[in-house]
Amino acid sequence: MNLQVVGCSHHQSNVAIRERLSFTEQQVRPFLDLFYHQFPKSEAVLLSTCNRTEFYAAAENPELIPSKQEMIKFLAQQRGLSIADINADLFAHSNQKAIEHLFNVAASLDSMVVGEAQILSQVKKAYQIAIESNDSIPLTHQVFQSAIRVARRVSNETDIHANRVSVPSVAIGVLAKQIFERLDNKKILIVGAGEMAEETLKYVVTGGGKDIRITNRTESKARELAKQFNGRVCEWTNLKEELATADLVVSTTGATEPIVTSEMFDHVEKVREQKPILILDLAIPRDFAADIGERLNVYLYTLDDLQKECELNRESRESEYPKAAKIITQETNAFFADVRRRSSGSTIAQLRQQADKAKNVELDRLMNRIEGVSEKQKKEIEQSFNRLVNKILHPPLKSLRDDTSNGSGSLLDALKKLFQLGD
């Protein structure tokens, strides 16, 4: 198996880079279609969330998988960027490191908020879209099903998810409390009606929020959310008017460009007359133009601003890290041991088939040249040939099995080259 991942995340890329490389769910399928047009013998998965964009490619034959530079070039082209624009902000992992990375991501050990629940469902969604784009992806099945299983094992065997917090919980429970002593007398506007909006509303209501307005381009989704949290639906076209009277705004849309520009906020600012407003922009790409936060009595926070608070959460869970990391290491090693076993099994079968073919040719040639041999004698001769083949093959095959069991796998390629075996 050959696996490669390139991407960016909150670890090394700021929000400006992440939003330029982000994809909506509707953009993922065309991305994969173009990939398969260019690399028809490879497999691909694209994972894009508010904190990361990761592009995975896999192929059985190393000559068929795109190189790191080819993947970066393809990613850049789909976002209308040059390689130079993004190269310094990307990471790349291959094979075992790529598997280990994916396992950490799925288990939420690589998240901004360690232990958050949303990432596993996002990994599953990326995997599901990959299946819908191409149902013939056996390597992807093997890799992502393993990642999902490992994430569940980490959840079951550690307390990494116990008393977990999320980006919305930090946004409401920490940042909102720094600005407002209470939420029960504040007008709260939720912009967007997806999973992030729903999770945020749970913390808003728990924190005492009562006057809740929800707006979304698709009004039916806003109505579903409003019914669930006893809120009111606002028309999307009245967004400026709602912003002019809101105290707390949480924006979580999937828009590809800011929905509130600096020019649009000029009108809002005039009506507000410098009344304080807290804006939690939890979207990637960002929903609010960055310079809005520079205005008087406007407190604009983005996902990058949550990083410090999330690091405190990470420190509080450090005691569980060694346990979770050990599971990831075990599972990564076990995954590749299984890959090597399968590969060595195929190689052994090919080698035996090759040896049996040569044996049968020589045995037939011998039987055609000698006369007066009884059936019993023919069987004895055949058994002698079989024993000879087995004795010759036993040492290299034993060495191969031992090497595979020890986790090396270095003899496998050597054996293929020596006996000219295929993959």
Alpha-carbon span 60 to 42, nearest angstrom: 8
Q: Which residue has the tokens 């000698």?
A: 370
Residue 50 among the catalytic residues: yes
Catalytic residue among 8, 50, 234, 310: 50
Cα–Cα–Cα angle for 239, 244, 250, rounded to 5 degrees = 65
- Hey, what are 410's tokens? 């270095």
Which among 128, 122, 130, 126 has a CA at the least distance from the CA of 36? Answer: 130
CA 137 to chain centre: 16
- Start-to-end CA span in the chain (Å): 10
Task: Give the SS3 label for residue 190.
Answer: strand
CB of 218 within 8 A of CB of 239? no
Q: Which residue has the tokens 């010759």?
A: 392
Question: In one letter, which amino acid is 327?
Answer: I
Alpha-carbon span 142 to 1, nearest angstrom: 10
Which residues are known to be catalytic? Answer: 50
